[in-house]
Amino acid sequence: MKIIRPNSKELAQLCGRGFEVKKRSRERVAKIIEDVRFRGDDALIRYTRKFDKVKMRPRQLRVAAGEINGAYQDMDPSLVSSFKVAIENVSQFYKKQLKKSWKIKDKEGIVLGEKITPIETVGIYIPAGTAPLASTVYMTVLPAKIAGVKRIVIITPPNKYGSVHPYILVMANLLGINEVYKAGGAQAIAALAFGTKTVPKVDKIVGPGNLYVTEAKRQVYGYVDIDMVAGPSEVVIIADDSANPDYIAADMAAQSEHLLGLSILITKSKRLVKAMKQQPGKGYVVLVKNLKEAADIANRIAPEHLQLMVKDPKKLFNSITNAGAVFFGDYSPTALGDYIAGPSHVLPTGGSARFFSGLSIWDFLKGIHVISYSKKALELVKDDIERIAALEGLNKHIESVKKRFE
């Protein structure tokens, strides 16, 4: 592991990281999106054959009921049991976030409020490259489902046999999702954003993916909403002398299992620095003077995952303002949040925790402002409206209010 100083150029670069795509890749994604937008299923099938090496017909794009039933045949019952534990934990967490419509009324006849309604249709992208990400299914579907989204569809790349991995299908079935489509990459995102004869157009797209998936989400934003623009997975660990170096090494090694995964240890402990020097693999160690400086650097990095492996994590947490998820103590590794704890593992990366939050119920709800004034209430503020509208030169706005009192 590499030791770097708090004032080093290397740390400044880590703090300034973000999501960047080369011009050639941006143009390639734009072409795919345009093709799928205007050629629909034909383009989707052509790109599936080109990138996934799978030949399909339009009717095969949607997973059939028989494929879902067949997915259970070789499934280990204990794995299904673990799936159900995860589903219960995530469900309980997000039920606490539910927001309700509200209104207030005063004696002058003013009614103000907000009508909270769910987004109607959501598309969820589930990666399926080197391994099926079954955990991403429940981590994305459940917040949407609990929010009340009426139609949730999943889209995921087919394997070389033209089928979807049984773990993904079983999890979708356990969650009551019966619309699963076979397509991956930028072409899948385009299909969700604009719709094809087979794949429905959605209002929002969520879920992680590779560079092309992420760039496609960025390009279709505005036609649909997206959860966030995400980059490689990352963990920052703040530790003091009370921390177990073996646990730290294991957690940093776990992060390296992700493609381009970033792991950083921030510590004032020279003992830990010495221990980390002997560890194989990639990662950074930042030696600081005290925990206040450690917290300041962590906030600058704004990591996806932040582990507080210190004697008093609750006290240190008071100084943390930028992180996707924070894990307290030696027995709360990032893997806990990845699979079973409850909060979604879809979290802001690349420093975007400065302005983004992890996936939540709020991502699937929208508010409609409600305004109702009586004639008496409007009369009380009509002069204020006139002064402000006159300042902006909007005379017709003034007349629209005056007309009611002629």
Report, as residue numbers or ranges, the catalytic residues. 304-305
DSSP codes joined into one string, 19-60: ----HHHHHHHHHHHHHHHHHHHHHHHHHHHHHS-----GGG
* Helix H or strand E encompassing 334: helix 334-339
Residue 40 zone, left/alpha/beta (φ > 0; ψ -120 to 50; rest): left
Phi, psi for 66 (deg, rounded to 5): -65, -35
308: which strand partners?
238, 328
Residue 133 contacts by C-beta under 8 Å, 6 or more apart in sequence? Answer: 126, 127, 168, 208
**Alpha carbons within 13 A on the beta-carbon side of 246:** 0
| Distances, alpha carbon 305 to alpha carbons 97, 121, 137, 324, 376, in Å | 21, 29, 20, 6, 54
Question: Do residues 257 and 294 make contact, with C-beta atoms less than 8 angstroms apart?
Answer: no
The β-bridge relationship of strands 2-4 and 234-239 is: unpaired
- 350 vs 11: CA distance, rounded Å: 14
User: 């999702």: which residue's tokens?
Assistant: 177
Q: Are 143 and 359 in contact (CB under 8 A)?
A: yes
191 Rama class: left (phi>0) / alpha (psi -120 to 50) / beta: alpha
Which phi-psi region, left, alpha or beta, contains residue 399 (left: φ > 0; alpha: ψ -120 to 50)? alpha
